Structure 1
Amino acid sequence: MINEDIKRVCVEKCSGNLKLVTSDIQKDIVSACAIGTTNSIIKDLGDSLFAILVDEACDVSNKEQMTVVIRYVDKLGHVVERLLALVGVAKKNMNISDLFFLVTNVVNVVRGSCKRHDILQEIQLAKIKETLENGELSNGQGLNQNTTLKRGGGGDTRWSSHYRTLVSLEYMFSSILDVLDLIVKDMKLSSDQRHEAHNLLKSLQTFEFAFSLHLMISLLGITNELLQALQRKDQVIVNAMTLLDDISSFCAKHDIEVPSLVDTYVVPGRVRRHVEKRTVLHHFQVELFFQVIDLQLQELNSRFSEANTKLLLCVACLNPSDSFYAFDKEKLIRLSKFYLKEFSEVQYSTKELDNQLETYILDMRSNTHFVNLKGIRDVAEKMVEKGKHALYPLVYKLITLILILPVATATVERAFSAMKILKNRLRNRMSDQFMVDCLIPYVEK
């Protein structure tokens, strides 16, 4: 199909000249490849059930891009994820928003040139060498590896990228201050550049920044654990109670003044007579610490509702480990009620699904072909291989619905990686449609 589309384009556009060097012809050929690839995906999908994964990221020209991926189970029982399209698309706590704004500016200034980046590396290497000689650091395989100040991700939801940026900034904090100080003293630079570096240097050496930095490092560092244990809200508080000690030692190390917690908090840049008086402790505890934790918990609760939690508990019943030890017929019947259109009373009765599940589990536990399966995906593939999908159609449909749940975004991230290769700094004016046409066959090769 793809070859036919390319041949048609060549015949229509070339008019006897087969050099294929003009940009219009090349774009038409790429478009034909994209159309052929998309048609092939649609044909493979057929009338199967599918799920959609959507994510966003910034391209090299700082334009927000959205990738759409479909996830389905093919005729052989394999879980497939396919890229469909990439199109252009257009922090609630003010203190944390200010933190990330400041961090972004620091990264841009310090990494603004190869020279500054090299200076940062040299200073950091010298400090590591000094601490090793003083016995303050341990030396060994995998320790004290060369690091750099990492850039954050393109969107607010890319917290893992933000976390790496904050960790690298904390680790190289002293070296970053030295680089900013060198910029301030460099008379060859413009006054605007030196003034910007001076303001950044002043903002970094405040208790407000130190507190916000360590708060977000602490919270983002345990986000993955929170996703797996949403009900353990006290875990956040317990782990974060050591935050103040970490901040105090950080401030002492870098000569940052630590305010008294009983003093009146002064809001920077605000007219003081219009501001309600509160203590430093109240500001950092209530307006920062508690508020950020509440925002994170609200976000997690919105992503994992009570219905979602029940759904995941039912899904676990299909796990084949230990001879289908987790199998629970009642929960699986309850699971089918989440999919009213696929298991409507008009098409199937609960009794029919009940009977199939009863026979299915006896068959699975007594059949040597289904021993030592590692996951639900393996169950689906083995059922198709042995013809069991036709014998237990309702059970297989239930397994198919579970397998297409969008629980991972590897294909989405692969699309973003491809985007960075295709649309680089030398091709940052590439149109959205041309990028789509290039990405689809590139990712689906």
Structure 2
Amino acid sequence: MVSKKYWGLPSDDSSDTDDSDVEMEEVPQVQPAKLLDVDTAIDFMRFVFKEGLAFLDNGSGRCLADRMFVDLGGFMVDKMLEQPQRDGPCRMRMLKPTFENDLAQAFAKEARKGIAKELQGDFFGIFVDMCSPRDTYKYYMVLFARYVNCKGEVEERLLGIVPDSDTFDSAPYLKAAALSMLSEAGLSLQSVRGQGYGMPGYSDKFLNELTSMLDGAHASAYYVHPHVCPLHVHLVTACYDQSELFQLIQTLDVLSNLVQKSPQFTEKLCTLIQESGVNLDNDLRKPGETNWGSYYEAIVKFAAHITPICDALEFVDEVSRDDVKFMVYKINQGLTYDFFFGLLLMQDVLGVTNELSLALDRKGRDAENFAALLQDAKKQLQVMRDSGWTPFLNRVGMLCNDNDIPMATMGEKYVPRRRSKDAEATTKTYLDYYHVDFFQKVINKQLEVFDRRFTKESSELVLLASCLNPRNSFHSFDKDKLVRFARYYPSEFSDSATATLELQLEAFIRDVRSDARFLGMDALSSLSARMVETGKNIAYPLVYLLLKLALILPGTPATVKPASTAMKLIESAITREPCNQWISDCLLLFLEPDIFESITNDAVIPYLEAAGHSEPAA
């Protein structure tokens, strides 16, 4: 933050008392508070917000100090060369020490209003995700609005970031925060036509709080799994209540740190891998380094190289410094039968779902192919659960034998690691535990994630919406399916409007297939922009409305500014600096620069006056 001294505010230790006047008691003169040109102060802070502060990289590759010294001169010269925007003398204000905080908050509030102004009262969707700085237990809710602007372009705008409450039940708190942001922006829940949630690991109760908020406002606020949310993150975090899998991820995390921090270990490991005849094409990756990391790639890599990893651990333990030895100790503590069991299980589970996860991440997702991949993944998981136990157990045994890991005797009585009151009374064997309480339980968790995130309704919505995809000269176009899609929105498509829509769809498809301007497109978002550009949104208003409703769904891939890009930057920023109101406001201004730059000084000055930054008395 900018210091109080920088702004020229009166110092607490200033005094006009002359040491020579000790014999007389004089009342010191009260110095008038210094006044500053509020527009100059706002302009300077506008520059600071635009540059992104110390915790953000503006993409130039230069550090903050370099950007401030070099860019600030040009910025202020440009300001001096601008034509005067107002008559009369400078507007003077007495600025409190909280000036920069209050100004950031004022800009953020106006930015949210700017987003609502761009939306122009039209329908929109919301996307809510969670991020957490690495090695912390703090969580932050991130709220986006998704809509189609006046140019037909899909926008995903950040509305704000809210830290998780310290209270036991934070669902009502976060729900209230989301409502407050929408209300502050002037966005009505009645206009929401789509909702999507990332938030891996969050309880059903919390999701129910948010979905009920929207379902109660409008029946057509459909939930669809956002295409920007990696599926594997949700599949992994859904199993964290299985303590062995949580320990597995922690052990892999320490192992990744060892790869990065110990050149001796890494060199020995690469040598051992290459000696085994395997070409090491890339480094071992840290699983889930961010919410957008690939767990599957990391787990497959570790599983493939687990034997040379164990050999390299033994070598480096003898020649390393103490901090490396401690990491080796932690890893060796985690290399149990449960580790190898969980490693192969998660490799199989994520392998079955990998094609589906990749399909979710494609911008031009083929909805029919996605539906087929979804059904195939669920079927493979069910087959694995019902008939894959014996071959799986044999593979675990072979891997443990290769690495001298003691194996559990399946016929013996199961003794839990953590003793409980019922531990002595149980008749459960290790076979019962590993087969039912581990193997089948984990697979059932994956199936539950699919059922919750890919409901029959949401899957059909994405499939029907894809019938407007312009790829291959509108090869997927199906009038009957599009009419069925419209019936999901009875408020917008009455019986008479639906009949008119059928006629417009027939005319529309003949028109665009014969129009060269509509050739070569491959995404719904490019179709909407082209319709506005050519005026066909006015010629076929109901078709365009149907297209907008499809694009509002968070499960529809967009080619413009995906929220995933913003999420990566937010997570990177709050890892360096814990997120508070100031950081949240700065991130909003930095991530929405066009909205921010459109806000005038006149718009934020009333907020400053309300916060006590007063103007001089007459």
TM-score range, shorter chain: 0.7 to 0.9
Question: Match of 1:130?
Answer: 272
CA RMSD of aligned residues (A): 3.8
**Aligned residue number for residue 120 of structure 2:** 46
Paired residues in the alignment total 414
Aligned equivalents of 1:102, 1:130: Cα separation in 2: 23
Structure 1 residue 440: Cα displacement: 0.7
CA distance in 1, matches of 2:494, 2:350: 42
In terms of fraction of residues, the more helix-rich structure is 1
Q: CA deviation at 1:443?
A: 1.1
Q: Report the CA distance shift for 1:420/1:180 in structure 2 as closer, same or farther (over 3 A).
A: farther
The equivalent residue for 1:66 is 141
Tell me, in whole angstroms, the C-alpha distance in 1 between the residues paired with 2:297 and 2:92.
49
* Matching residue within 25, 30, 43 for 2:99: 25
- C-alpha deviations, 1:90-122, integer Å up to 9, x for none? 4666773332145426735984xxxx6666442
Given the superposition, is the C-alpha separation of residues 124 and 9 from structure 1 closer, same or farther in structure 2, using an over 3 Å criterion? closer
Question: Are 2:249 and 2:287, in contact at CA under 8 Å, matched by a contact in 1?
Answer: no
Seen in structure 2, the aligned counterparts of structure 1 residues 75 and 310 have a Cα distance that, compared at 3 Å, is same
Larger radius of gyration: 2
Residues 83-162 of structure 1 aligned to structure 2 (within 5 Å): 83-90=158-165, 96-101=242-247, 103-104=249-250, 107=253, 111=257, 120-132=262-274, 134=275, 136-139=276-279, 143-147=280-284, 150=286, 152=288, 158=291, 161-162=294-295
SS of residue matched to 1:414? helix
Identify the match of residue 315 of structure 1 among 458, 462, 465: 465
1:305 corresponds to? 455
For 1:324 and 1:442, the matched residues in 2 are separated by 38
Q: Which amino acid aligns with 2:507?
A: T
Query: For the residues of structure 1 that align with 2:310 and 2:546, how far apart are their CA atoms?
Result: 55
- Going from structure 1 to structure 2, the CA distance change for 1:87 and 1:411 (only over 3 Å counts) comes to farther
Q: How big is the shift at 1:433? A: 0.8
The one-letter code of the counterpart of 1:418 is L
Match for residue 340 of structure 2?
210
What's the CA shift for 1:306?
A: 1.5
- The percent of aligned pairs where both chains have the same amino acid is 29
C-alpha displacement of 1:361: 1.6
Q: Does structure 2 retain, via aligned residues, the 8 Å contact 1:184–1:197?
A: no
Structure 2 gap ranges (5+)? 1-38, 47-89, 166-236, 358-369, 594-618
Shift of 1:333: 0.9
Cα deviation 1:204-235 (Å, max 9, x = unaligned): 2x322211121112212332435632322332
Label 1:37 to 1:273 Cα distance change in 2 as closer, same or farther (>3 A): closer
User: Structure 2 vs 1, CA of residues 120 and 180 (structure 1 numbering), >3 Å: closer, same or farther?
Assistant: farther
Q: CA deviation at 1:398?
A: 0.1
Judge conservation of contact 1:318–1:326 (CA < 8 Å) in 2: yes
Contact 1:353–1:394 under 8 Å retained in 2: yes
Residue in structure 1 matching 2:374, options 230, 234, 240: 230
> Which of 342, 348, 366 is the equivalent residue of 2:492?
342
Aligned AA for 2:42? Answer: I
Structure 1: gaps (5+ residues): none
Closer/same/farther in 2, CA of residues 63 and 203 from structure 1, 3 Å limit: closer
Classify 1:268/1:31 alpha carbon distance in 2 versus 1 (closer, same or farther; 3 Å). Answer: closer
Q: Are the equivalent residues in 2 in contact too, given 1:66–1:87 (CA < 8 A)?
A: yes
Letter in 1 for 2:112: T
Is 2:403 aligned against 1:254? yes
2:434 aligns to what?
Answer: 284
Contact 1:166 1:217 (C-alpha < 8 Å) held by counterparts: yes
Q: 1:92 to 1:56 in 2, by over 3 A?
A: closer
Deviation of 1:405 after TM superposition, in Å, equals 1.1
Aligned equivalents of 1:53, 1:437: Cα separation in 2 = 18
Question: 1:347-403 CA deviation, whole Å, 9 max, x = no partner?
Answer: x53211111112112212222222232222222111111111111100100001111
CA contact 1:163–1:220 (8 Å) conserved in 2: yes
CA contact under 8 A between 1:311 and 1:335: conserved in structure 2? Answer: yes
Question: Is the Cα contact below 8 Å between 1:9 and 1:28 reproduced in 2?
Answer: no
